[in-house]
Amino acid sequence: MDIQTELQHTESLLFGQITSAASHHDVAGIAALSALAKECEMLKTDLTSLIRRVEAVKSALNGSGASSTSTQKFTPSAEAPALSGKAAGVQARNAWIAWLKDGGIYLRRHGKQYQTVQGQSVAVAFANELPKKENRWFLGLPDEPTDIVVLLCKSLAGQFHEIVLPDSYVRKVWHLLSRGEYGLKLHIRKDAGRFFQLVAGNELDVTKHVANYEPLR
């Protein structure tokens, strides 16, 4: 039995047990089983993402993805040096959205956020590397629920690192993120090619989410 089938079978068993627990008014049992059901749902999302990434690698090996976002890096044109931080963020987001479109990934504006063709909400934050704290970025976002979070981190050398945090990750950390007067505060640190997010005093490795655009398709 493959993993996908195993998950579907497990989910079916869970729903059966939840129904049984409900008929016996077993509140504690329902809560425990519901938590397991949510975990199954998250595993299915992670598995789908993994399958897509494997397919993207196979496609690139076959030469069919040579011009897609899976093989090209986001390198926007140089911006005017006098841009304010807010203006630089607007310009970077617009350039990134346009670049995604060229690669076949479409995000449309939806209020302060964006939306994928699948209907998932996407919040996009931008920050420059801190001059006095190299390899560190402090980003901000409105404290509004979202499915996917994208962190556009620009280095002092002008290189962009796009960290695409999928809904499965966002659900786990959302309530743990630091909050201030103006919304969410997100801290990213780069160390020897790996990227870490500071969450509730712990550093979570988010390297696998760098330039992984599959959640946006």
Which pair of structure tokens corresponds to residue 72? 């090209």
How far, in Å, CA of 69 to CA of 74, rounded? 8
- Are 107 and 33 found together in one domain? no
Three-class SS of residue 12? helix
In this structure, are 89 and 186 located in the same domain?
Answer: yes
CA angle 191, 142, 211 (to 5 degrees): 40
Task: Answer yes or no: is 147 within a domain.
Answer: yes
Rounded to an integer, what distance in angstroms lies between the CA atom of residue 161 and that of residue 151? 8
- Residue 71's CB is within 10 A of a number of other CB atoms, namely 13
From first to last of its 217 residues, the chain has per-residue pLDDT tens of 577 778 778 888 888 898 888 888 888 888 888 888 888 777 776 776 666 666 656 655 665 444 455 546 787 755 545 456 678 888 999 999 999 998 899 999 988 899 999 999 999 999 999 888 889 999 999 999 999 999 999 998 889 999 999 999 999 999 999 998 889 999 999 998 899 999 998 999 999 999 999 999 8
Q: CA 148 to CA 167: how far, in whole Å?
A: 5
Is the residue at 70 inside a domain?
Answer: no
Residue 129 counted as domain residue:
yes
> Looking only at Cα atoms, what is the longest distance across the chain?
67
Residue 145 and residue 56 share a domain: no
Q: How many separate domains does the chain show?
A: 2
In a domain, 68, yes or no: no
- pLDDT of 77 reads 59
- In whole angstroms, what is the distance from residue 24 CA to residue 3 CA? 31
Q: Is residue 176 part of a domain?
A: yes
Quick: pLDDT tens for 59-88. 556 654 444 555 467 877 555 454 566 788
CA–CA gap between residue 150 and residue 88 (Å, rounded): 16
Q: Are residues 50 and 122 in the same domain?
A: no
| Tokens (6 digits) for 90 | 């607007």
157 lies in some domain: yes
CA pseudo-torsion sign 79, 69, 212, 11: positive
Domain containing residue 166:
85-216
Q: Say how far apart CA 34 and CA 74 lie, in whole Å.
A: 40
- End-to-end Cα separation, the chain, in angstroms: 28
My answer on whether 33 and 119 are in the same domain is no
Q: Are strands 178-180 and 183-191 parallel, antiparallel or unpaired?
A: antiparallel
Sort strands 136-141 and 108-110 into parallel, antiparallel or unpaired: unpaired
CATH number, position 115:
3.40.1350
* pLDDT, tens only, 4-28: 778 778 888 888 898 888 888 888 8
Q: Which residue has the tokens 């199954």?
A: 40
Tokens of 130: 């801190």
Amino acid (1-letter code) at residue 184: L
DSSP character at residue 4: H
Does residue 75 form part of some domain? no
Query: Are 94 and 146 found together in one domain?
Result: yes
Together in a domain, 194 and 129 = yes
CA distance 92 to 96: 6
Q: Global pTM?
A: 0.67
